């Protein structure tokens, strides 16, 4: 098994739920990149976006990723934009196995509408605005997500089959 497993995918795709379950199952440590950034910065993600802006957030995301690449036996759930900025997908692919949790815009919209997590990029959007935003941003991001070593159907996630796939690569 690879020492580092990076879960990637759009906001609301289920990276944290799958990541914590996977880590428990294979006895790896679990790290949520967003939580680590919040802890390190002493601020929430919305606070970082509003006080410092997205570019600073992306820089911190990048720095945290490099630190995570030093750890062994770790499952990392990444922020939805992480693999799409500043070579981060290449860094993840060089240092571990990337797993893309793929979902269609409609399913992502339903999940995001009912999610309690505050996400600055979608804050205050109506349902039709959200749908348009997801479709457009996912269209731009898929070129990065598609560089993952493993792609999973986010509607039919199965931990045992993921563990099987991870043992093969």
Binding region for ligand S3P (CB under 6 A): 11, 34, 45, 79-81, 119-121
Nearer residue to ligand S3P within complex by CB, 1 or 100: 100
Nearer residue to ligand S3P within complex by CB, 52 or 119: 119
Report the candidate in 167, 145, 164, 143 with the shortest Cα–Cα distance to residue 154: 145
Q: How far is the CB of 167 from ligand S3P (least distance, A)?
A: 26
Nearer residue to ligand S3P within complex by CB, 86 or 120: 120
Q: Residue 46 has which token pair?
A: 């919305």
Q: How far is the CB of 153 from ligand S3P (least distance, A)?
A: 18
Q: How far is the CB of 168 from ligand S3P (least distance, A)?
A: 27
75: left (phi over 0), alpha (psi -120 to 50) or beta: beta
Q: How far is the CB of 45 from ligand S3P (least distance, A)?
A: 5
Q: How far is the CB of 164 from ligand S3P (least distance, A)?
A: 26
Nearer residue to ligand S3P within complex by CB, 121 or 150: 121
Nearer residue to ligand S3P within complex by CB, 129 or 167: 129
Q: Are 142 and 80 in contact (CB under 8 A)?
A: no
């Amino acid at each position: 098994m690879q020492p580092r497993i990076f879960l990637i995918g759009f906001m609301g795709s289920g990276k944290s739920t799958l990541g914590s379950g996977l880590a428990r199952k294979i006895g790896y440590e679990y790290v949520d990149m967003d939580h680590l950034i919040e802890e390190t910065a002493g601020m929430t993600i919305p606070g970082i976006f509003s006080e410092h802006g997205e570019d600073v957030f992306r820089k911190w995301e990048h720095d945290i990723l490099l630190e995570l690449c030093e750890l062994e036996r770790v499952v990392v759930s990444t922020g939805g934009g992480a693999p799409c900025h500043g070579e981060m997908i290449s860094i993840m692919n060089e240092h571990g196995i990337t797993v893309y949790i793929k979902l269609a815009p409609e399913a992502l919209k339903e999940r995001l509408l009912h999610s309690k997590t505050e996400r600055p990029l979608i804050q205050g959007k109506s349902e039709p605005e959200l749908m348009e935003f997801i479709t457009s941003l996912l269209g731009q991001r898929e070129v990065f997500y598609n560089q993952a070593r493993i792609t999973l159907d986010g509607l039919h996630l199965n931990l045992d089959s993921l563990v099987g796939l991870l043992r093969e690569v």
